[in-house]
Amino acid sequence: MTVTASPASRAAEILSRPVTLNGLTVPNRIAMAPMTRMFSPGGVPGEDVRSYYARRAAAGVGLIVTEGTYVGHESAGQSDRVPRFHGEEQLAGWAKVAEAVHAAGGTIVPQLWHIGMVREQGQAPYADAPAMGPSGIRPDGTEGTGKAMTQGDLDDVIGAFAEAAAAAERIGFDGVELHGAHGYLIDQFLWAGTNRRTDAYGGDPVSRTKFAAEIVAAVRETVSPDFPVIFRFSQWKQDAYDARLAETPEELGAILAPLAAAGVDVFHASTRRHWIPEFEGSDLNLAGWTKKLTGRPTITVGSVGLDGDFIRAFAGEGAPVQGIDDLLDRLERDEFDMVAVGRALLQDPEWAAKVLAGRTGELKPYDAAALRTLS
């Protein structure tokens, strides 16, 4: 006879298993999803940002992926309150963040970001810099005032990612995540909707992946072989929730294979709802397909722990809901390796500690007011 564990203790048991990502051992399966917060004036993460991350590490988040942080290219961003991953003061701020997270028992990677054609010209931190992307097209399909990138621009941006990754290793981070998702620069190349190039960087899925693969290769060459390189990607875009990079597993495989070959250690497959099957005829979600196609460890994400149903399922009340049981089943089947949690961790810094200790009756429902503070 098998004894059925309570939902809370089953979650605690499965989520507290360590996992290895290249040379890094993460103490459990819970990651903090990258979330832009805009609390870093001058691009410098200060004491409040440091304690925001350290608090979550101390409460059991195994891997923190920081908010998107701009690489050192003048067209990379458009806010002076988003942290930068270049410059002496900015990197000194980040070094203290990494140190504080380590002191709290966690691991941390910066998410390296270039926004490409999302940029409005005239915005900080470099007002005169042009918006640029593969074809000067915005992710909403409009032709902006932006510039189609020249080979020189591509080389500069590739160099900026590699430099940021080298800095990450130098100042004590545990790896890097490259932001290839949601309609920003790297994704603008991956997606046919924004990439109309007729040179080697445009055309079929493999050609559209060339820029991303060159960034990965440059990063891989710059950092130590055992330093984890995570690549985040998505089908959906900030301006187009229904957009798709790949309509079939074959197309997805064509995009992921060159990235894996270039040196991606871990894929972070960004979906808005983790339980939705990605392609017809299989239950696998995007992270599941990604692992099946590449053999690399993957991170899933999307509405974990957000609603009252999730909390009730933990507490064992009412009918089982999609939330936790399905997620744990998929983890047990090795469909993916880690679960990233976004908004629920904004709401409740103690989210991971409560889940890992089975104190799930204490979980708090999400309220968008959490976006306004850095508590």
Short-list 133, 338, 162, CA closest to 263 = 162
Quote the crossing angle between the two packed helices 88-103 and 47-58, to the nearest 10°: 20
Cβ pair 180, 267 in contact under 8 A: no
Q: Quick one: which segment of 29-37, 39-47, 141-149, 168-176 binds ligand FMN (CB under 6 A)?
A: 29-37
CB of 304 to ligand FMN, least distance (A): 5
Where does 131-175 show beta strands of DSSP type E?
132-133, 147-148
Count of residues binding ligand FMN (CB under 6 A)? 22
- Taking the least distance from each CB to ligand FMN, the nearer of 121 and 238 is 238
Q: Quick one: which segment of 34-42, 135-143, 217-225, 246-254 binds ligand FMN (CB under 6 A)?
A: 34-42
C-beta neighbour count of 103 within 10 angstroms: 11
CB of 2 to ligand FMN, least distance (A): 32
CB of 86 to ligand FMN, least distance (A): 17
Q: Which of 10, 84, 179, 296 binds ligand FMN (CB under 6 A)?
A: 179
Q: Which of 232, 237, 296, 312 binds ligand FMN (CB under 6 A)?
A: 232
CB of 270 to ligand FMN, least distance (A): 5
- Taking the least distance from each CB to ligand FMN, the nearer of 179 and 197 is 179
Short-list 190, 246, 191, CA closest to 216 = 190
C-beta neighbour count of 54 within 10 angstroms: 23
Establish if 45 lies at the interface with ligand FMN (CB under 6 A): no
- Taking the least distance from each CB to ligand FMN, the nearer of 261 and 371 is 371
Please tell me the distance from the alpha carbon of residue 153 to that of residue 133, in angstroms, as a whole number: 9
Region of residue 361 (left: phi > 0; alpha: psi -120 to 50; beta: else)? alpha
| Residues 285-304 interacting with ligand FMN (rule: CB under 6 A) | 301-304
- Taking the least distance from each CB to ligand FMN, the nearer of 22 and 271 is 271
Number of H helices, E strands in the chain: 13, 12
Beta-carbon contacts of 207 under 8 Å, excluding residues fewer than 6 positions away, are: 200, 201
| Residues 252-291 interacting with ligand FMN (rule: CB under 6 A) | 270
Catalytic residue among 52, 53, 70, 184: 184
Q: How far is CA 341 from CA 98, 103, 288, 349, in A?
A: 19, 21, 17, 11
Please tell me the distance from the alpha carbon of residue 31 to that of residue 161, in angstroms, as a whole number: 22
* Tokens standing for residue 98: 């990494």
- Taking the least distance from each CB to ligand FMN, the nearer of 72 and 342 is 342
Query: Is there a catalytic annotation at residue 184?
Result: yes
Please tell me the distance from the alpha carbon of residue 311 to that of residue 20, in angstroms, as a whole number: 29
Establish if 35 lies at the interface with ligand FMN (CB under 6 A): yes
Establish if 341 lies at the interface with ligand FMN (CB under 6 A): yes
Helix (H, G, I), strand (E, B) or coil at 210: helix
- Taking the least distance from each CB to ligand FMN, the nearer of 123 and 207 is 123
- Taking the least distance from each CB to ligand FMN, the nearer of 114 and 343 is 343
Short-list 70, 80, 76, 73, CA closest to 34 = 70
| Residues 117-146 interacting with ligand FMN (rule: CB under 6 A) | none
Q: Quick one: which segment of 42-50, 100-108, 175-183, 235-243 binds ligand FMN (CB under 6 A)?
A: 175-183
Q: Which of 342, 348, 352, 354 binds ligand FMN (CB under 6 A)?
A: 342
Tell me the catalytic residues.
Answer: 184
**By the criterion CB under 6 A, which residues form the site for ligand FMN?**
33-36, 67-68, 111, 179, 181-182, 232, 270, 301-304, 306, 341-344, 371
